[in-house]
């Protein structure tokens, strides 16, 4: 549906909606807006669709949410016809699925690849967004949807001398689209977050020598990945509607894990141990964190789970000094992203693998021949940077986004991101952010969070068109109150006790603000629905009175 006022204002936008990004969010946005009869175009910086799953092709890249959950729910035909081979999908399988979705719903014709959006400016005279690409192409639209992802701007730390390195180097988040052979090579991996923990066991099997540079030890649990049987898949599919509905009522947007009923200290030490053992044996992170109600809110409860995993590390890693370095001691378990692995701790028992502590002796430079720390020099043929991302806000800050009166998003968010519901930010009308800061985003099943956000956004756009309203943006007070709520919610948990990319701590100079909403996906969704029921409470809609929060 075209907006009736647009032509009256003398400005005809090129399209109704511009979508930035063609990953899980961008593709569903295309599908959803087309259903409204709108003219849509998506710009994607990559040479292919898939977002995260296009860029993160490093060996061992795999999802840590069960495949049957980490997939679109909007089409029953789609979920019935697709067969996931593994419990936790490989990057290759997820990308294959994304391509299938794009073909099945004929999405490609509105996606422009190899197109990096450089700026997005709101033109108040015509109420439209003007999007300019790195190649200088300009397109106008009534609405701009940032489907730019939470982990899409990779970070290579600013080590002196990287340009002098004579070997090869790669970042996990920009992995080449060809096999990288480590056979017989001396490899250094810098970083031991989820990406490093997945690729280290695989590189160790190929490299002649593997040096792992660890600054902070992370907790990781066995994934226990396995092939899904046809029978298992079929049983799930017969009740897919039930599982999808159940996921909507859970804190992480993931079904199949009965909610815990007890606090950790309500159980005896023996019962706790038995529970943790069972979870460890079955694999997965959500199920482990679901052992007890209070693992993420009570330090004493959390200590019991953390100590259990520390014991597992010490009993797996044969060299006691290496084991002690691998044991996380500075944060509660789950307060940083809880990693899943296949044979991570066992890898340090291999004779060709060495762990180097870069907390006590930091990396001071990359040299022509390898890595130099404050204590030693390591000769390497290949360096892998598993050093993470400028998360959640990075991809947005990378675009020159200007709202009313030339206000830039970078200026507005200089002291931390400010949004209402993680969906919109005051002063930037008709600019929607998919899984933005202040929404559950990375603390939920991303596909579920993406669908929820885009359903809300599509409903909002349909409402505006039905009412003949041209703009929507948050009321500044509603935004402030939402940020306060996001902070209070985080402060009631153990998350702020960890230095992590959730708080921007991994990027020097980035404001320290806890960015995701951790009140639970189910509660968040209920709030979003309530806001709509209350006439878009807290939003300023042109031509309509604003309802206070």
Q: Which residues bind ligand N01 (CB under 6 A)?
A: 62-64, 151, 157, 172, 190-196, 198, 215-216, 337, 340, 358, 363, 386-389, 442, 501, 506
Which residue from 277, 287, 227, 232 is spatially nearest to 254, judged by alpha carbons? 287
- In this structure, how many other beta carbons lie within 10 angstroms of the beta carbon of residue 59? 19
Least Å from the CB of residue 502 to ligand N01: 9
Least Å from the CB of residue 424 to ligand N01: 24
Indicate the SS3 state at residue 341. Answer: strand
Q: Which of the 8 DSSP states describes residue 86?
A: B
Q: Is the Cβ of residue 221 or residue 458 nearer to ligand N01 in the bound state?
A: 221
Least Å from the CB of residue 443 to ligand N01: 10
Residues β-bridged to residue 121: 130, 402
Least Å from the CB of residue 198 to ligand N01: 6
- In this structure, how many other beta carbons lie within 10 angstroms of the beta carbon of residue 201? 21
Q: Is the Cβ of residue 362 or residue 543 nearer to ligand N01 in the bound state?
A: 362
Least Å from the CB of residue 58 to ligand N01: 8
Cβ-in-10-Å burial (0-12, 13-18, 19+) of 256 comes to middle
Q: Is the Cβ of residue 157 or residue 416 nearer to ligand N01 in the bound state?
A: 157
Least Å from the CB of residue 358 to ligand N01: 5
Least Å from the CB of residue 442 to ligand N01: 6
Q: Is the Cβ of residue 31 or residue 213 nearer to ligand N01 in the bound state?
A: 213
Indicate the SS3 state at residue 355. Answer: strand
Q: Is the Cβ of residue 140 or residue 503 nearer to ligand N01 in the bound state?
A: 503
Positive/negative CA dihedral, 508, 510, 512, 517: negative
DSSP 398-463: TSEEE-GGG-BHHHHTTTS---BTTTB-TT-TTEEETT-BTBSGGGS-HHHHHHHHHHHHHHHHHH
Measured CA to CA, the distance from residue 94 to residue 111 in angstroms comes to 19
Q: Name the residue with the smallest CB distance to ligand N01.
A: 193
Q: Which two tokens stand for residue 158?
A: 């600013």
Q: Is the Cβ of residue 186 or residue 331 nearer to ligand N01 in the bound state?
A: 331
Q: Is the Cβ of residue 216 or residue 298 nearer to ligand N01 in the bound state?
A: 216
């Amino acid at each position: 549906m075209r907006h009736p006022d647009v032509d009256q204002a003398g400005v005809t936008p090129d399209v109704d909606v511009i979508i930035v990004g063609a990953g899980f969010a961008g593709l569903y946005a295309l599908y959803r807006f087309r259903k409204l009869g709108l003219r849509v175009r998506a710009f994607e910086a990559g040479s292919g669709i898939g977002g995260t799953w296009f860029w993160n092709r490093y060996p061992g890249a795999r999802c840590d949410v069960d495949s049957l959950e980490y997939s679109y729910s909007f089409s029953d035909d789609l979920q019935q016809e697709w067969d996931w081979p593994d419990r936790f999908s490989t990057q290759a399988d997820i990308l294959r699925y994304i391509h299938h979705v794009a073909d099945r719903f004929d999405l490609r014709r509105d996606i422009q690849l190899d197109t990096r959006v450089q700026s997005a400016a709101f033109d108040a005279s015509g109420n439209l967004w003007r999007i300019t690409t790195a190649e200088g192409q300009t397109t106008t639209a009534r609405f701009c949807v940032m489907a730019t992802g939470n982990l899409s701007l990779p970070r290579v730390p600013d080590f002196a001398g990287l340009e002098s390195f004579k070997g090869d180097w790669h970042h996990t988040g920009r992995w080449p689209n060809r096999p990288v052979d480590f056979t017989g090579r001396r490899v250094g991996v810098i970083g031991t977050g989820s990406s490093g923990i997945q690729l280290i066991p695989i590189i160790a099997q190929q490299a002649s020598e593997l040096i792992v540079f660890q600054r902070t030890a992370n907790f990781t649990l066995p994934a226990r990945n396995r092939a899904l049987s046809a029978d298992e898949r079929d049983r799930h599919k017969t009740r897919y509607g039930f599982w999808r509905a159940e996921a909507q009522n859970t804190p992480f947007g993931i079904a199949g894990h009965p909610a815990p009923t007890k606090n950790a200290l309500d159980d005896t030490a023996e019962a706790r141990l038995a529970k943790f053992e069972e979870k460890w044996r079955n694999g997965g992170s959500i199920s482990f964190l679901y052992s007890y109600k209070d693992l993420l809110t009570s330090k004493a409860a959390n200590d019991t789970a953390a100590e259990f995993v520390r014991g597992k590390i010490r009993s797996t890693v044969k060299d006691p000094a290496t084991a002690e370095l691998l044991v996380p001691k500075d944060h509660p378990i789950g307060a940083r992203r809880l990693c899943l692995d296949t044979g991570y701790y066992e890898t340090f028992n291999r004779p060709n693998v060495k762990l180097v502590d870069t907390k006590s002796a930091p990396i001071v430079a990359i040299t022509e021949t390898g890595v130099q720390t404050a204590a030693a020099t390591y000769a390497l043929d290949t360096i892998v940077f598993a050093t993470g991302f400028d998360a959640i806000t990075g991809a947005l800050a990378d675009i020159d986004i200007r709202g009313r009166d030339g206000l830039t998003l970078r200026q507005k968010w200089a002291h931390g991101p400010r949004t209402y519901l993680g969906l919109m930010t005051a002063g930037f009308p008709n600019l929607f952010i998919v899984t933005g800061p202040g929404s559950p985003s990375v603390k939920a099943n991303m596909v579920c969070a993406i669908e929820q956000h885009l359903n809300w956004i599509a409903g909002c756009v349909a409402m505006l068109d039905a009412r003949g309203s041209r703009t929507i943006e948050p009321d500044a007070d509603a935004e402030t109150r939402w940020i306060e709520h996001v902070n209070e919610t985080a402060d009631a948990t153990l998350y702020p006790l960890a230095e992590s990319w959730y708080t921007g701590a991994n990027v020097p100079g980035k404001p320290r603000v806890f960015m995701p909403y951790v009140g639970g996906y189910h509660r968040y969704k209920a709030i979003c629905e309530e806001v709509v029921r209350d006439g878009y409470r807290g939003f300023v809609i042109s031509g309509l009175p604003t309802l206070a929060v």
